[in-house]
Chains A and B, each alone.
Chain A
Amino acid sequence: MDETELFATYRASGDLALRNQIVERYLPIAAMIAKKFVGRGVEFDDLYQIASLALIKGVDRFDGSKGVKFSTFITPTIAGEIKNYFRDRSRLVHLPRRVSELRQSVRKTADEIFSQTGRNPSPCEIATALGVTEEEVVTAMESGGVVSLDRPADGENEDGASYYELIASPEDEFEHLERKDAIRSALKDLTEEERQIVACRFGKELSQSETARRLNVTQMHVSRMERKILEKLKENLRKSAVD
């Protein structure tokens, strides 16, 4: 069955087996086009998958009666899908396609008006030229740009504080200091051996057996001491909280 016949039969019957047959016949084209977009940070397999999905959609949309060969029709369709994928993937914050396209048109129109008039156009002028509302133009203009947290917050001074440094810490630093101080004073009342056990178990995060091996005692001893130390620490902390 030639191409025209195949598509005509599929359009008439809607037979899925026939559609699969068409898709399989043109999969090499999908692979060929996907290969042309390799080297942009996306694996061939992913590109091939996108191209194959575009091919399936294209088979359903193709109208052979218009005199265009399927390969001519499907190539821009697949290339378009792959390019859309790259565009969507290249932004950390995904903009809706309409906003993204409007952003490009706004920039282009602004450049054109600037070259004609020699001055920067207002959003109202751009909106009139593009046939959209002023609000849409402003939204499109404001929607771009990802800012690095390492960038100086005042925009110029390289030695100044970065955005990252200005972000509030999720943990209250004073609370953290207070807690540290309470633990330090609670540890003061421990014996040398008890302090060594705390250092091994909670500082170095060793197991009871490893701690026992290092301190040359039994694991049972470490376990008993640990219970005793925890009780002692709890009591000390309770006392310091009351004071």
Chain B
Amino acid sequence: MKAAFISYNQTHVEDIEEILNQLGIRGFTRWLDTQGRGTADGEPHYGTHAWPAKNMATLAIVDENIAPILKKRIQALDREQPSHGLRIFFWETCDV
């Protein structure tokens, strides 16, 4: 099992939900209104006057074999709109 943390511009909320549904990932935890900034470039997402974009984050525990597919789908979505700065991170889970 892997923990997948997806940080995304809040405009992506429905896309993410759709991907999770399509991949049969039922369980997840979601944070509304998170803030963040990319490592290399891109606009910060602070929800402020200067940087009004806001992030959301979803944490889902996914099957080992689902994880690469999820990664591919998310990266595809990111390529579609690179300015939104969509990112996915994985951790190994020790116990469920």
A-B complex is real: no
Residues of chain B at the chain A interface (Cβ within 8 Å): none
Residues of chain A at the chain B interface (Cβ within 8 Å): none
